[in-house]
Amino acid sequence: MRRVLIGIVWFYFLVLLVGPILYLANQSFSQGIEAFWTEVTRPEALHGFTLTAEITVIVLVLNLFFGTMTALVLARQQFWGRGLVSGVIDLPFAVSPVIAGFMLILLFGPDTLLGTFFGQAGVKVLFALPAMILATLFVTFPFMVRELTPLLQTLGTEEEEAARTLGAGEWQVFLKVTLPALRWGLVYGATLTVARAIGEFGAVLVVSGNILLLTQTATLHIYQSYVDFNYVAANAVALTLLAVSFAILTVLEIAKARAETTVAEAGAQ
């Protein structure tokens, strides 16, 4: 029985994960390393990588700030509607990214109040970087908050109070006590955010318009190449993104182990 179970897990793992990855790698290099390199460095691909990197960095910075702030408020403050906010934060996990993108289209469409406002101000939101950032923010928002809130609750406020009795002002308390205590949670949340931002497709596809060399991210480029029967390009860019994601996951695993020991220590004291 035990062997059968282990066998099933291995089968599942090989067919669903290892098989596709090996096949992808094989196909990427089917025309030789040179072809791979050409595809990865062609302007459209490079633009896609750059755009994805830009969106990821901006989204990460915004999430680090707003995610930490939201987690602090949720963990420490009692206010009317706290339960509602806490529940809605998980919504992006439940809603399809395509729907998220669609909601942005409706919100910033040319006939809406917001759309008109930004239109008159000369700021292009839809089918441009702002909407792509908003869409990615929407789908990544829960990661930071969900990672930090329980960590903050476990840590409690005694260390912060101790810092205050030793003369530390509110900013010093935050920078010298709260933030260091959250560091592994921040790394963990940031890695998840980055991985999700790099891989985001649906929401970005809807709001970007997938305009070549303008709003085409790396994932959109893969999709476009595939649709255009340029399989080598699709495979090459996909493999590159996969390698990046794998590296991020490795960091994530290390961070997770560290975060767990931190929480265990907090619990043990």
Partner 1 sequence: MKIEVRGLTKKFGSGTAVGDVSFVVHEGELLGLLGPSGSGKTTVLRLIAGLEIPTAGDIFIDGKRVNDLTVQERNIGFVFQHYALFKHLTVFDNIAFGLKIKKWSRRDIEQRVQELLALMSLEGLGGRYPHQLSGGQRQRVAIARALAPRPAVLLMDEPFGAVDAKVRQELREWLIRLHTDLNVTSLFVTHDQEEAMEVSGRIIVFSKGKLEQAGSPADVYEEPATEFVARFIGSMNIVEGVVRREQVQVGSLEFPAPGFPDGQKLQVGFRPYYLKVAEDPTRYRQQAKLRHIYFLGVAYRLEIETADGLILRSRMNKEEFRRCHFTVGQAVSFAVTHFRILPQEGATAAIGSETGTPITGPLTP
Distance in Å, CB of 75 to partner 1, minimum: 17
Site string for partner 1, 172-211 (x = CB under 8 A): x---xx--xx-x----------------------------
Q: How far is the CB of 185 from partner 1 (least distance, A)?
A: 12
- Nearest to partner 1 of 34, 158 (CB atom): 158
| Token pair 């390393």: residue | 33
The least CB distance from residue 163 to partner 1, in Å, is: 7
Contact status, residue 141 vs residue 63, Cβ threshold 8 Å: yes
Among the candidate windows 49-57, 111-119, 164-172, 198-206, which touches partner 1 by CB under 8 A? 164-172
Phi-psi region of 37 (alpha: psi -120 to 50; beta: other; left: phi over 0): alpha
Residues 17 to 76 in contact with partner 1, rule: CB under 8 A: none
First to last CA, the chain: 42
Q: Quick check: 148 binds partner 1 (CB under 8 A)?
A: no
Contact between 165 and partner 1 per CB under 8 A: yes
| Candidate list 127, 159, 248, 251; residue touching partner 1; CB under 8 A | 159
Output the smallest distance, CB 167 to partner 1, in A.
4
Position 268 contacts partner 1 (CB under 8 A): yes
Asked if 151 interacts with partner 1 (CB under 8 A), we say no
Does 78 interact with partner 1 (rule: CB under 8 A)? no
Residue 164 interacts with partner 1 (CB under 8 A): yes or no: yes
- The residue within the footprint of partner 1, chosen from 43, 87, 122, 167 (CB under 8 A), is 167
CB closer to partner 1 out of 42 and 258: 258
**Residues near 151 by Cβ (< 8 Å), separated by ≥ 6?**
71, 181, 182, 185, 259, 263
> Rule CB under 8 A: is residue 163 a binding residue for partner 1?
yes
**Residue closer to partner 1 (CB basis): 182 or 203:** 182
Query: 84-113: which residues touch partner 1 (CB under 8 A)?
Result: none
Give the CA distances from residue 124 to residues 22, 57, 131, 202, 208, in Å, rounded to whole numbers and listed in that order.
Answer: 41, 20, 9, 20, 11
Q: How far is the CB of 250 from partner 1 (least distance, A)?
A: 24
Footprint on this chain of partner 1 (rule: CB under 8 A) = 158-159, 161-169, 172, 176-177, 180-181, 183, 262, 265-266, 268-269
